[in-house]
Chain A
Amino acid sequence: MSAVAIGVRERRRRDGVRRGARRVVAVALFLLALVGLYELYRWVWSSAGFTWPFAVDSTSMPHVWTILKAFGQPAQVNQPPLGTILFHKALFTAKEAIVGFGLGAIIGFFLGVVLVHSRLLQRGVLPYIVASQTIPILAIAPMVVIWVNPKLPASFQGWGSVAVIAAFLTFFPVTINTLRGLQSADPRALELMRTYAASRWTVLWKLRVPASMPYVFSALKLAATACVVGAIIGELPSGLQSGLGGAILNFNQYYSIEPQELWATNIVAALLGIVFFVTVVLVEKVVVRRAPENVG
């Protein structure tokens, strides 16, 4: 029997590899098609002279190759190429985003666990948690910087407060989905735990938390991209120059002269978000063992 089982596992693994390869090819083709469409649109609009919705020229829509070339050229004299600079700025922003993600995920999860045990708290606290997300992040960022920065150790100065802002965007989906996930435990399974005279704590760790994992991970996927956005926006009012937010602010001012640099920065920011997202997806694949049809 176990020989059959191993055979099944081996086949499933091979199927997985094949499916993965097919997906990579599909993504590459899709990207290529997107670039083709972009250039086609550009060509049609500029040669026909359409001005709706906007006139197409090398400022509004630089060529794809112009943008790609910008990565290899220095943005200012006597500097390393833009690609190298953006890479380091991306690492800086990634540091803020990772810490923000971790902080937000832990706080979010903890809040979900607390809330699931108290109807009263759910009714009392949840509206404020929802309300907190209606505040534009730019509006509270300066306050967070002023409140948080003085308390941070030297090595956390500046970027630490940006991580807190990123955490502010991260915790919300995690709280909401953790709460839903913890409540998703099968009532009959809860009853089964009751027949074992299991404590609340045991029920939480053996049943509710594992049952919540698919929900928690779909929140973490949202949070993975949200924390990157949070980190970039958080850099703006903090006056930090070392991250992608600072670069975006800077290249904004030169957009009319050198638009390709802002485009290049945007691509790097998007890539960073994708890397975060994919990382969460991969971790989910390892952690969440579920019936294939239940994987959301």
Chain B
Amino acid sequence: MSALEPVVKIEKVTKVFPRGNVTALQDIDLTIDHGEFISLIGPSGCGKSTLLRVVGDLTEPTEGSVTVNGKPARRARLDHDYGIVFQDAVLFDWRTVSKNIAVPLELLGWDRERRRNRVDEMLELVELVGFGDHHPWQLSGGMQQRVSIARALAFEPALLLMDEPFGALDEMTRERLNLELLSIWHQLGSTVIFVTHSISEAVFLSTRVVVMSPRPGRIAGVVEIDLPAQRGVETREDPRYFELVTHVRELLRKRGEHLLPEEEQQLLEAAE
């Protein structure tokens, strides 16, 4: 993999679910470079999660191709090229926090010593030092999600896929985790694809926001986020931040209005 090669290259991807013949994605083209933080945003049913799953080879595109690190998505998955975080932490109840983080390391065949060292590093990274011996059910939702992030990053994948990771958390926890995620991203320099419902979250975190519109799922526009790289609490008060939020919101609304009658029709058909 050369440094110039994009981390993710999505070309003409279309995904049709045979059940109900729903076109979840249509003609998606997107190239993501090394170190980018890309948010996928759009209303429910716009295919943003499906797109993420296509990149992760959890579902196959009907047409088009996806390469990750210059390899077909399937090869990339088999090579452990990405880590993933779901909306729920999906931790194993029977394992302690440390052992949960170690799951992918065990599968990669790391020895005990190396696993322990890495788990300690990860606990530090997600600020959970001292909680390694706890069980998941003893942690709050935000802490569980931090464990899940540590698990996804433990084997240093080049790419981090996040499917509405903070969607189930309260607003305050969410904002704090946003800051933490940015700090982790700066420290590790990995590439992130982040699916979200929240405009403010997308603008705050990303280098680019990909706005999607539903049925069929398409890219309505891509917004470059030209905020300073180092972001903090004050970023949310930056006038440029508000302009960008407004811009994304308008893109979402315009596409929504434009498509609404036809969309509704398709929605009704799909529901039947």
Q: Which residues of A contact B (CB under 8 A)?
A: 1-2, 5, 186, 188-189, 191-192, 194-198, 202, 206-207, 210-211, 213, 288-292, 294
Contact = CB atoms under 8 A, between A and B. Distances in A.
Given A194-B58, A210-B92, A188 B86 contact: yes
A163 B106 CA distance: 39
Contacts of A188: 86, 88, 90
Contacts of A290: 93-94, 137
A292 B93 CA distance: 11
A289 B94 contact: yes
A116 to B, nearest CB: 18
B86 A192 contact: yes
B131 interface: yes
6 contacts: A189-B92, A195-B58, A195-B83, A196-B103, A206-B107, A292-B137
Given A194-B58, A196-B80, A186 B90 contact: yes
SS of B interface (majority): loop
Contacts of A192: 84, 86, 90
Given A196-B80, A196-B107, A206-B106, A1 B131 contact: yes
A143 B94 CA distance: 43
Chain B contact-residue range equals: 20 to 34
Contacts of A197: 77-80, 107
A186 B133 CA distance: 23
Contacts of A196: 80, 103-104, 107
A194 B78 CA distance: 9
B103 A206 contact: yes
Given A1-B130, A1-B131, A291-B135, A195 B82 contact: yes
B236 interface: no
Contacts of B106: 206
A194 B107 CA distance: 11
A213 B84 contact: no
Given A188-B90, A289-B135, A290-B93, 19 more contacts: A1-B131, A2-B130, A5-B130, A188-B88, A192-B90, A194-B58, A195-B56, A195-B77, A195-B82, A195-B83, A196-B104, A197-B78, A197-B79, A198-B107, A202-B107, A210-B94, A210-B95, A213-B94, A291-B136
Given A1-B131, A195-B82, A202-B107, A207 B137 contact: no
Nearest to B161: A195
A290 B79 CA distance: 32
B92 A207 contact: yes
